[in-house]
Amino acid sequence: PQLSAYRDHLLSETHLQGALSLKECIANPDLAFNRGILEPLASLRRIGKIDGSNCVILVDGLCEAEYHRPDHGDTITSFLVKHIPLFPSWLKIVATIRTQLHEISKQLPFTRISLDNINTNENLQKDILEFINYRVKNSSSIQTNITASGVIEHLSQTKFAQHLLTLSQGSFLFAKLTLDLIERRHLVVKSSGYKVLPVSLAQIYLLHFNLRFPTLRSFEKVTHILSVCLAALYPLTLLEIYYSVNSLLVDTFLPWDEFLQRFKLLSGFLVKRL
C-alpha cells in the first residue's frame, strides 16, 4: 500500500490516534482532519517516506450525504470544499455522484466526467463490451444459454453483446447481474430476439427475490432484517441488526439461532460486516 508509512506513523503516535478518535472528529472535524491526516501526510512526504507518485482518495456516492443533511455543520461536500485548498498536489480526490444531484458538486473545483450518455461516450461502450465479451468467452454456461445450438459463434456473441450493451445504458451493474442470471441458468436466452432479458435493474432484483422467496410467507421471514438495513445510515454489524430486529417485534422474541438462519437467506443480497 502506498500509504503504509502513514499507517505506521499513526500506530506509533498515540496523540494522532487521539486526534482522530470519534469524539474529536465529532467535536472538531476540521481540526481532526488537518492534524490527523493532512499534516502527517505532508510531513511524511517531505522526509521521503511517501514516494513521488500520486495518491487517490475515493469518495463513492458523495450525494448520499445530502439525504441526511445535518441541522448544523458540514456535509461531506461542504467539508471537502473547505479543505481542498489545503490538500497537497499529489493527493487527489475521485468522487462519484448521481446525475440528478450534480448541483452539489458545482462548489468543488474538480474535473467532471459524465458516464451517462453511452451513445456519445465511446470509452464507456468499449469498457462494457469488453466486460460482456470476457464473461461470455470464459463461461461455457453463458455460451450454452445464449444460442439455440449451444455453440457460440462470433456473430451470435457480437449480436448478444451489442443487445446487452444497449439494455445496460452504461450500467455495469445491470450487465453483471444479467450475465450472472444467465450463467446460473435462471435465464435461458435461446431466441435471437432476447425477449426474456430484463430491461431494468428493478426487474432483475424482482426476479432474484422471486427465485429466493417464492411465497409471501418465505419473504416475511426476512422483511424486518431488510427494513432495518435499508433504514440504517451506516452499515450495521450482525449484532446491531439482531437487536434492531427484535425491537420491532413487540409480542415475540426472535432467538439468535433463528435470526442467523433468516439472515443466511439473504446471502448475496447483504454483505456481512466483520
CB 79 within 8 A of CB 29: yes
- Classified as helix, coil or strand, 95 is strand
pLDDT digits (tens, 9 = 90+) for 121-158: 788 889 999 999 999 999 989 888 887 665 667 778 88
Q: If we measure between CA atoms, which residue out of 181, 186, 173, 151 comes closest to residue 60? A: 173
User: What is the residue-averaged pLDDT of the chain?
Assistant: 87
pLDDT per position in the chain (274 positions), as tens?
A: 778 999 999 999 999 999 999 899 989 999 999 999 999 999 999 998 988 788 888 998 888 777 777 777 788 888 999 999 999 888 999 999 888 888 888 888 888 888 877 777 788 889 999 999 999 999 989 888 887 665 667 778 888 999 999 999 888 999 999 999 999 999 888 777 788 899 999 999 999 899 999 999 999 999 999 999 988 877 888 999 999 999 988 888 999 999 999 999 998 888 776 6
Beta-carbon neighbour count of residue 143 at 10 Å?
A: 20
Helices (H), the chain: 4-12, 14-19, 22-27, 29-33, 39-46, 76-83, 122-137, 140-145, 154-168, 172-183, 201-212, 216-220, 223-231, 238-248, 256-264
Quote the pTM value.
0.69
Q: What residue segments make up the domains of the chain, in order of their start?
A: 4-107, 122-212, 216-264
